[in-house]
Amino acid sequence: MRERVISLPKKPCLLRSFASIGSTFRFIAVFPAFFLFSACTSGRHLSFLDPQGPIASIQRTHFIEMLALLSVLVAIPIFILLPWFAWRYRYDAKSSRYTPEWSFSRSLEIVAWSGPAVIVALLAVLVWRSTHALDPYKPIASAAPPLRIQVIGYDWKWLFIYPDLGIASIGILPLPVDRPVAMDITSATVMQSLFIPALGGQIYAMGGMVSQLHLLADKPGRFMGENTMYSGNGFHQQNFTAVAMTATAFSDWVKHVQSNERPLDAAALSRISERSTRAQLVAALGVPATGNDGIAFNHVSPTLFTGVVNATMKGTGSASPALDQTTASERFSGGASLTPPSQGSHP
């Protein structure tokens, strides 16, 4: 008769537990470095961990505060208690008290519930403070007047309108350094989300509604912008480059667009309204790109943004309302000033 051999379970290996803890610590040490090294690639700033404006700088501080709080109150106690428990209750421990009938400890209950209560209270204070400080509708205090930009989300591209300058762009968002930017944002199609991580702030764009976002770039540079809300097959290509430049360079760019680029007429707007990526739009319009596949337009109707909002809100199915060409021509022709008297001169 064949004897059955029963294998006893191997004793837990304490060294194996410590090795696992060491690997976790190494991962934690390398993980932030990964983000820091990837914050700026291909000449574009990608993350709020490498802030290029005051909003992103506050967001980074907020992130560090949260990380420190969770590390002190959650992570560190776990990594201290884990090896202690592994040693104290190891397989061959002799000094540990064996209490199989244990059911309740008031001290343990107090410790177990007071910790989460303190964490929630501290997180609530930090979140409340940061929420009000980073309100996207709150204008940024500055001696310089804000630059107004109207943003319309199409499938799958962003149209940036400079209503006081009579110009617009797709794929590129030029901004003057040290001047606040006040954005009005809407969508001509489905719900979308505008995000420029290096400058801070993420805001949703919804059809028939207008959201606001205030940003400021405090140094020249190129920043990644994108749509973070899935909106169809071309969603992954709905990105752009925000370019912060000096006031002189921004003024030169504005004058170049006003003089040399094509007008945003009904035909161009019809192409923009089609479901297409920026590259497909460039090919359809047959115009050269303005750096990073960006396109610029002049003679932009001052009623375009309002018309898109109203058309989408009424559900007319028209993402390209009729342009007020008479008004646009009267306002942006003949070399007249492109800045209303109340707004001063060019940036």
Asked if 42 and 222 count as a contact pair (C-beta separation under 8 A), the reply is no
* Higher local confidence (pLDDT), 102 or 41: 102
CA angle 292, 294, 296 (to 5 degrees): 150
Kindly tell me if the per-residue pLDDT of 14 is higher than 80: no
Is the bond preceding 84 in cis, omega lying within 30 degrees of 0? Answer: no
pLDDT in the model for residue 119: 85
Rounded to two decimals, the pTM is: 0.74
> Which helix (DSSP H) or strand (DSSP E) does residue 127 occupy?
helix 106-133
pLDDT in the model for residue 288: 65
Kindly tell me if the per-residue pLDDT of 135 is higher than 60: yes
CATH 2.60.40.420 intervals, the chain: 147-339
Which residue reads 């209303």 in tokens?
340
**Across 250-276, average pLDDT:** 93
DSSP structure class, residue 73: I
Asked if 286 and 162 count as a contact pair (C-beta separation under 8 A), the reply is no
Structure tokens at 108: 């343990």
Asked if 213 and 204 count as a contact pair (C-beta separation under 8 A), the reply is no
Q: How far is the C-alpha of 272 from the C-alpha of 238, rounded, in Å?
A: 13
Q: Residue 344's pLDDT band (boundaries 50, 70, 90)? A: very low
pLDDT tens-digit series, residues 228-252: 999 888 888 999 999 999 999 999 9
CATH code that applies to domain 147-339: 2.60.40.420
Q: Residue 290's pLDDT band (boundaries 50, 70, 90)? A: low
CA angle 172, 175, 178 (to 5 degrees): 155
Asked if 302 and 321 count as a contact pair (C-beta separation under 8 A), the reply is no
User: Helix, strand or coil for residue 300?
Assistant: coil
> Which helix (DSSP H) or strand (DSSP E) does residue 137 occupy?
none
Q: How far is the C-alpha of 311 from the C-alpha of 155, rounded, in Å?
A: 16
Which residue reads 């500055």 in tokens?
142
pLDDT in the model for residue 170: 95
Q: How far is the C-alpha of 344 from the C-alpha of 144, rounded, in Å?
A: 11
Asked if 197 and 224 count as a contact pair (C-beta separation under 8 A), the reply is yes
Structure tokens at 106: 């008031």
Please give the share of the chain, as a percent, with pLDDT higher than 90.
44
The bridge status of strand 239-245 relative to strand 221-227 is: antiparallel
